[in-house]
Structure 1
Amino acid sequence: MRFIGLIILILFWIPCNSQSIRGRVAFNFLKLSADPMLTGAGGINTSYVTNEVGLTANNPSLLHPAVNAQLLVSFSSFLKGVKSYNATGAYYNRKTNTTFGGHINFIDYGSITQTDASGVSYGYFRPIDFVIQFEAARTYLENWSYGVSLKMINSIYNQYKASGIAFDVGVLYKDSLHNFSASLLAKNMGFQIENFGGENEDLPFDIQVGISKRLQNAPLGISLTAYHINKFNLTYKDTLFNMENGNLEKHPALNNILNHFVIAGHIYLSKNLEAVVGYNHLRRMELNTGLSGNGLNGFSTGLKITFQNLQVLYARSVYQRNVTLNQIGINLGMNSFFSSGNL
């Protein structure tokens, strides 16, 4: 228990204000979700425990022996031909009682016209972002687990390049008897190794805490996650734009509180079918456009269908009216392909 307490103390000791939330922040693609069920839950969730490996890319403390020999591949399609490819896997080692994980995220921004200072085109280039991630987690006593991730980050925009190193550290408490879990997570602690040619920028550092509870007598569950708890005021206001578009904030203090929370509802339709609905208030506030209407901006949904040794996952997230992100994934149980089992 002392070790868990030490990790929690370190998380709160981190100089929270040393890394920006708004402004000059590099590698913002690290905020994107690699797992369709996480995307469907609002894009941010630290505490939801399943037997699916995809969520471990977001929180290393979710690694546990049940996700051994799983491989999730997912694909997302954004606007203007931007595509994201993800692969996440895990392996449990009995000798060390440690679950290891790995994750790769590759983002292709498509072909972009290259011009000179006068606007004359002289070719094309393809900007890319990618991160390679290594993880490890162990259990402590009956209800606790802790994990750490190491991320090697790269961005290549034609002749401009940047790279960095980041760490995630998480602690999870799980009470299986009462279907309750809670987690504390510090994300993207690190620094740039190489910048784009100017000064080094901060990483998208974040401290998150979440709880999840499955109801005892109903096929329902709920998750509540607080994020950016290291900085209270997340509001960015473009006063002129808001006035021109009729996007006037009526309850700024309340919105500033709600901006820190993402809520998700889990619906267990059957043993092999699960759905999730999420709402991200900050996303809605950032992307609202006033007079044009905002529809389901900030809402998201996800679906998981389980077959033998195979899960199919799909998510749809609304960013603005007629602007959505679609993500599909396949989670494979690889144990059946390896007769040797755990090493």
Structure 2
Amino acid sequence: MRKILILILLVSEGLFAQVGGESIYNFLNLSSSARQAALGGKVLTLLDDVNQPLWNPSTINNSIDRKLSVNYVNYLADVNLASVSYAQLINRNFGTIHGGITYLNYGKFIGADEDGNETGIFKAYDLAVSVGYAYNIFKTDFYVGANVKLINSVIDNYSSFGVGADLSLLYYNEYLPYSFTLVLRNIGYQVTLYDEEREDLPFEIQLGASYKLENVPINWHFTVDNLQQWKLAYSNPSNVSTDIDGNETEEDISFLDNTFRHLSVGAEIFPEGLFNLRLGYNFRRSKEMMLVDKRTFAGFTAGFGITMRKLKFNYAFSKYHPASNTSTFSLLINLE
């Protein structure tokens, strides 16, 4: 029975994956930043946020020196996600390094043997520790960055250890209203196994862009994700149509429908003010969480930020399903 419970946990972990299939450590694709979550969940071009390097290491720069962030997510089914981010300028020649810790707690579970007799309480959690660095290519507006991650996953007495990395390239010029980035996330290897089969990390290729309007205080953010696997859409059994003769026809996924599932978009209003408003929309989440003949508003995200001297508080509300929503809280502290 205990093996069955462990198998259920592993399958449940796969629900967090951005693309279906066999992979491990899918918690690495969960955002713990309230600002990122409010802007659609996958924004990559926040250059003044100490949490952003966890997703895009090329955004590490001197402006986040001595910034500390503590984040908490009240996730689905009483699962709790927390993270800490910090950046430190070493010197002007070397630049800034970034460190982060991400922790996902699945809670407590009741174990049982093959006969259904309870054997006690056990826990399950995931943990990742990362260190990142970015470098400005000489005499250009291009920045390259890398994160190195140590990953640990534990279910009862079983554990798995892995190593991973993120690589990214950023184009940014402070005199231009736009920036672009390419990110390769979760390149890595499962060192120790849960079972006899080695699993892949949730590798993902993403493109991100942002644009600051000239006469309106709004920053737009766009992300195209999962470029390593173009086909994301699969027919939903709930959307099967039946004709008068009882013949069933599967849902037809159009090219445009599949294309939009790679896209998330966000808008930040008054980005440089003491109070910010944020809105976002994740097209894939909307499609996969929708209900037949009922509007759910899945995929919609919103949030705000308030700056108080050396403190900034961010909040995000993410809509998944009528039965469940997610709140994300971030506290950023300027230690200078």
User: TM-score, normalization: structure 1?
Assistant: 0.86
Q: 1:65-76 to 2 correspondence within 5 Å?
A: 65-76=62-73
Deviates more, 1:138-147 or 1:68-77: 138-147
Q: Please state how far the C-alpha of 1:269 moved relative to its aligned partner.
A: 6.9
Query: Does 2:145 align with 1:110?
Result: no
Q: Distance in 2 between matches of 1:88 and 1:269?
A: 21
Structure 2 counterpart SS, 1:86: strand
Match of 2:152 among 151, 154, 157: 154
CA contact (8 A) 1:42 1:299 kept: yes
In terms of mean alpha carbon deviation, does 313-322 or 140-149 score higher? 140-149
Q: 2:175 aligns with which of 145, 167, 177?
A: 177
Output the CA distance in 2 between the equivalents of 1:217 and 1:321.
38
Matched ranges for 1:33-44 at <5 A: 33-44=31-42
Q: Does 1:332 align with 2:333?
A: yes
- Equivalence for 2:119: 122
1:214-236 Cα shifts (integer Å, max 9, x gaps): 10000112111111112210123
SS of equivalent to 2:107 = coil
Write the distance in 1 (CA, Å) between the matches of 2:254 and 2:86: 42
Paired residues of 1:77 and 1:83 also in contact (CA < 8 A) = yes
CA distance in 2, matches of 1:290, 1:296: 13
8 Å contact kept, 2:234–2:253:
no
- Which residue in the other structure is 2:57 paired with? 60
Provide the residue aligned with 1:298 in structure 2: 299
Contact 2:235 2:251 in 1 (8 A): no
Which secondary structure does the structure 1 equivalent of 2:270 belong to? strand
CA shift at 1:301, angstroms?
1.1
Query: 1 or 2, which has the higher helix percentage?
Result: 1
Superposed CA RMSD? 2.0
The residue identity in structure 2 corresponding to 1:231 is: Q
CA contact (8 A) 1:21 1:205 kept: no
Partner of 1:16: none
- Quick check: 1:48–1:211 contact (8 Å CA) kept in 2? no
> Is the CA contact (8 Å cut-off) linking 1:34 and 1:57 kept in structure 2?
no
1:309 and 2:302 are equivalent in the alignment? no
1:41 and 1:271 map into 2 onto residues whose CA distance is: 17
2:22 to 16, 21, 24: 24
User: Which contiguous aligned blocks of 4+ residues in structure 1 show a shift greater than 4 angstroms?
Assistant: 248-251
Q: Percent identity?
A: 26
Matched, 1:80 2:77: yes
Q: Alpha-carbon deviation of 1:200?
A: 0.6
State whether residues 48 and 181 of structure 1, in contact with CA within 8 Å, keep that contact through their aligned partners in structure 2: no
Distance in 1 (alpha carbons) for counterparts of 2:157 and 2:295 = 38
Which stretch of the first structure deviates more once superposed, 60-69 or 140-149? 140-149
TM-score (norm 2): 0.87
Provide the rounded CA distance (Å) in 1 between the counterparts of 2:202 and 2:216.
Answer: 38
Q: Distance in 2 between matches of 1:195 and 1:88?
A: 28
Residue identity opposite 1:211 in structure 2:
A
- The unaligned stretches of length 5 or more in structure 2 are 1-17, 242-249
- CA change 1:75–1:190 in 2 (3 A) is same
Aligned-partner Cα distance in 2 for 1:27–1:269: 33
* Unaligned segments of structure 1, at least 5 residues: 1-19, 336-343
Q: Distance in 2 between matches of 1:53 and 1:136?
A: 12
In 1: Cα distance, 2:135 partner to 2:144 partner: 6
Deviation at 1:304, TM superposition (A): 1.3
Using the alignment, how far apart are the partners of 1:209 and 1:173 within structure 2?
A: 12
Corresponding residue of 2:131: 134
Aligned to 1:234: 232
- Residue 189 (1) aligns with residue 187 (2): yes
Q: Which residue identity does 2:36 align to in structure 1?
A: L
- Once the two structures are superposed, residues 256-300 of structure 1 have per-residue CA deviations (whole angstroms, 9 ceiling, x without a partner) of 000111111111176211121111111122222324x24210111
Which amino acid is 1:283 matched to?
A: R
- The match for 2:12 is none
Conservation of the 8 A alpha-carbon contact between 1:294 and 1:320: no
Structure 2: distance between partners of 1:255 and 1:99: 41
Q: Deviations over 1:43-85 (max 9, x none)?
A: 1112232x22111211111110010001000111123321111
**Matched residues in 1 for 2:56 and 2:253: separation?**
33
* Pairs aligned (count): 311
